[in-house]
Amino acid sequence: KAIKRLLPKAGLALKNGFYLETSWILSSIIELKIRRILTLITNEKPGLSMGLDKCLRRFKGLHIKGSHPLLVKHFEIRLIDDLRVWKNRRNSIYQDMTIIHVRPGRIKRMVEEGIVLHQELNSALKNFKKDLKQVSIKNTALPVETNEQAARN
């Protein structure tokens, strides 16, 4: 629900040239999606102290361990690394803003990269959820009775 409220706000901010605000909203959306993935995989909600950086580290750790086959299937390590690079670049721009003037073009490029990464993450998440639902349906299906079990009954 929060993502559905934030997406139009990000679009409006981008349309009006508020790139810094767009980057904040985009960061929140990406963090919410990563948190959702972690919750689906571990059946535990990440704590409030787990920001985007910690969520990405946990996400990558689970991917490297191969603990969830669908995670490995749908999310490339490159995407996780690119998200961390984007987050670090975003933080660098935020820090630079307190010291020097940051050109709007630099912030705009960072936002455009974030949008591309968000779209890639969103696409992978949709496929992941679809496969996860299929696995859940298979695991909850009634067991098929074998011929031997039927003969006993």
Most confidently modeled of 95-99, 135-139, 148-152? 95-99
Burial grade of 82 (CB within 10 A; 0-12, 13-18, 19 or more): middle
The pLDDT score that the predictor gives to residue 14 is 92
- Per-residue pLDDT at 149 exceeds 70: no
Average pLDDT on 134-144 reads 58
pLDDT digits (tens, 9 = 90+) for 41-71: 888 888 878 899 999 999 999 999 988 888 9
Per the listing, tokens 């969520």 go with 55
Answer yes or no: are the C-beta atoms of 86 and 114 closer than 8 Å.
yes
The pLDDT score that the predictor gives to residue 45 is 87
Question: pTM for this structure?
Answer: 0.79
